[in-house]
Structures are given as C-alpha cells and as structure tokens.
Amino acid sequence: MFVATFLCNPARPTLDPALVESLRNAWGGGDVVWLAADEAAEFSLQTMPENADEVWQVCQDQSVDLIIQTADGRRKKMLIADMDSTMIQQECIDELAAEAGVGDRVAGITARAMNGELDFEEAIDERVGLLADLPETIIDHVLNTRITYMPGGATLLKTMRGQGAYAALVSGGFTAFTARVASELGFNENRANTLEFADGKLTGKVVRPILGQDAKLEALNGITATLGITPADAIAVGDGMNDLLMLENAGTGVALHGKPALQEKVSVRVNHGDLTALLYMQGYAKSEFVT
C-alpha cells in the first residue's frame, strides 16, 4: 500500500481540490483526506503509478509538491536534520564570510561544495582559512543579526517530540552555531565541526576530524542503534550533497529545497512546502501540530 501526499507553500495555501481529485480518479486511489484545508491532502494507492515522475513535474509546475511513499511505518520515531539552509535559512560560513569582507568568494565555494562539485573537506578548509583573525564575538553577532529559522521548524520539532520522537541536529557547519539552534528549536543533541580559536580570534582552522557525508551516516546509524531503533524508523532532511548518504539510508530521506545534484538522487523532494511538510508526509493533520 502507498500514500500520495500533496503539499503547497503554507504561506500561500492554494492546493486545488480538482488536482487532487483528478489524480485520485486517474490512479484509482482511496478517499481524499485533507490534512489542512487548501494546504495538504493525501489518498491511499494500491500500487506505485507508472507515470509518477511525469505527474510530479506537472505538480511542480503548479507549485505543488507530490510525495508518494509506502504507507507502512511512515510515522517516524526519530528526526535527523541538517542545519544550514535546512533548519535555518542561511549558510553560517557564508554569513561569517560576509562579516570578514569575503562573502562572495566564500559563497561561491559553498554553492559548489553543496552541489557536490568540490571535495567537502577541502572546501571547508579553504573557506575557514579566509576567516582567520575574526574575533570570537563574531559568532554571537552573526547568530543575533543574520540567522533566521526555516519556517515550520519549531512546529516540526515540537510535534514529533510531543509524540516521543528523538531529534538530532547533524551539521557540516559548526558547533558554535548548532548549540544555539539545537537549544532554541528543541533538538535532543547536536553534532557539527568545531572552529579553532586562539587569543579570542579564529585561527582559520577546523578541529579534526571533519564531520562530512560519512559522519552524517555514522550519526544516523549510531544514534538509532543507541535508541534501540533502526534507520528505517528515522526521517532525515537536508539540502546538499553532503546529506546524501544520510537521506538514502533513513527510512524517509527528504531533500528540502535541495541543490540540483541532490534532487537527482533523492525521490522525496520538497520545493514549495516548508518544514511542516515532514509532518504532513507522516500523516499528521494540521490539527495535530504542536505550535
């Protein structure tokens, strides 16, 4: 049994009932269940439609995200999430670079690294090297003035944790940022890279080992083992190629406004919805959200 879920941007709830009904009829689906009026709906399917990819593109052209997944076990016991451009709307290293006057140079490297065009470890070393001698106080300044949360993130955390789920923030960014983000959003734990400081300034180096794609997969496997569950019990979300192994090995791996290279590899793609999309695709109705 499968479930087809339809989502749109909650800030502009314009999901057309005619679109959902026409596809239900074409695919022989079950009754339509509206998870949120004009915003999210779903229906059951006996088999995966042969034209699912074609229909996905039609829905994208109408600013609608379509997710088709197996119905069994879709409500997860764990959330594992990337931070930059996923739980927050920025890339922390780019914001630090802007303060250092090398924003455009670093942002270009970041974009190529997240699209899988550069080695992640080499890219992080090159970018952090350009931040040498920035004062340690720059971290709080950037957090206070440049960082904003991705819409729906707080609701996602509160709702899943209210149902007993565990939440881990696992980032290729920096602990100086993940500590506050994890605390404010309500994650159980956070893992990231550590910037090196000396005499109150950034040295331009990152403490080894570097947390990259393999480490995110190790976090998924290790945390689920500790909890006595399996990776199939987890929903993972990220936007860049360094999230690929984590997304591929979780029960549900979501590319949230993902980079083009990631979208080519991942079947669950959210390009119009916000982080509450992860609740809808688990079958939560908006009336069940904890806000």
125 an active-site residue?
A: no
Cβ atoms of 137 and 87 closer than 8 Å: no
Q: Which of 65, 84, 239, 274 is catalytic?
A: 84
86/149 Cα distance (integer angstroms): 9
DSSP assignment of 150-218 equals PTTHHHHHHHHHHTT-EEEEEEEEEHHHHHHHHHHHT-SEEEEEEEEEETTEEEEEEESSP--HHHHHH
70/58 Cα distance (integer angstroms): 21
Cβ atoms of 128 and 147 closer than 8 Å: no
Q: Which of 53, 61, 82, 140 is catalytic?
A: 82
Q: In one letter, which amino acid is 258?
A: G
Cβ atoms of 166 and 188 closer than 8 Å: yes
> Which positions ≥6 away from 61 have C-beta within 8 Å?
none
31 an active-site residue?
A: no
Residues annotated as catalytic (active site), given as ranges: 82, 84
